[in-house]
Amino acid sequence: AQKITQTQPGMFVQEKEAVTLDCTYDTSDQSYGLFWYKQPSSGEMIFLIYQGSYDEQNATEGRYSLNFQKARKSANLVISASQLGDSAMYFCAMRLRGSNYKLTFGKGTLLTVNP
């Protein structure tokens, strides 16, 4: 069975600085996708970025980038130039090919951006 591990329950960052949120995963499958979602205190889940297991380049979406190290089974999220509105829970998730699109989530990291 697949497993997602986020070892940082909470992280603090100063406004305008970059921050890395860690995510490691465990699967024996070769084909999978990795996702990051943001959940503000209001509860909605906002999709941020996707990385496929066969993608050779790290994914980027605006201020978000994914540091994908396949051999180490890690998919860390990097947020550059942090903003106060980035304060939220961040979840790493994985989906296996052929799993009917089911997502398995990590426990999340609560990011607080300080002014």
Partner 1 sequence: GAVVSQHPSWVICKSGTSVKIECRSLDFQATTMFWYRQFPKQSLMLMATSNEGSKATYEQGVEKDKFLINHASLTLSTLTVTSAHPEDSSFYICSAKVPTGDTSPLHFGNGTRLTVT
CB-nearer residue toward partner 1: 52 or 84:
52
Footprint of partner 1 on this chain (CB under 8 A)?
33, 35, 37, 42-47, 50, 52, 91, 97, 100-108
Least distance (Å) from partner 1 to the CB of residue 22? 15
Least distance (Å) from partner 1 to the CB of residue 17? 25
Report which DSSP code applies to 59. Answer: P
| Residue 71 CB partners (closer than 8 Å, separation 6+) | none
CB-nearer residue toward partner 1: 14 or 60:
60
Q: Do 2 and 29 touch, CB atoms closer than 8 A?
A: yes
Least distance (Å) from partner 1 to the CB of residue 4? 9
Q: Do 33 and 53 touch, CB atoms closer than 8 A?
A: yes
CB-nearer residue toward partner 1: 3 or 16:
3
Report which DSSP code applies to 82. Answer: -
CA distance 87 to 91: 13
